[in-house]
Amino acid sequence: MSEQQSETQITENTAARRFEAHIDGALAGFADYRDDQAVRSFVHTEIDRAFGGRGVGSTLVDEALRATIADGKQIRPICSFVVARAAADEFAAHVVH
């Protein structure tokens, strides 16, 4: 592991209705969602260009989807990035359209 590598921390910001990725205290990206009863719709994902190419988006969305499942909610992928990640076997059974 390189000395340059930083740990990505994923948190849920319920007030902003989004999951956030932080690296060294800086906001690296976020995944916006909307809740409707038992379904969480992911509407937009954005990663700061300064953090691109590090897998931040994949880590962010995977953790957001795991948290959604742990909350007992189904996943409605609207954002194209979430659509691609939600197709994985781990998440596919929890997806609604």
DSSP-derived pairing of the beta strands 8-13 and 18-23: antiparallel
Structural tokens at position 87: 């197709």
Residue 1 clears pLDDT 50, i.e. is over it: no
Q: Quick one: which of 14, 48, 10, 58 has its CA closest to 33?
A: 14
**By percentage, how much of the chain surpasses pLDDT 70?**
95
Mean of all residue pLDDT scores within the chain: 93
Using a 10 angstrom Cβ sphere, with 0-12 exposed, 13-18 middle and 19 or more buried, the burial of residue 88 is exposed
What's the confidence (pLDDT) of residue 2? 38
What's the confidence (pLDDT) of residue 5? 56
CATH superfamily for 31-89 is Gcn5-related N-acetyltransferase (GNAT) (3.40.630.30)
pLDDT in tens, 50-93: 999 999 999 999 999 999 999 999 999 999 999 999 999 999 99
Q: How much is the average pLDDT of 20-24? A: 96
pTM of the prediction? 0.91
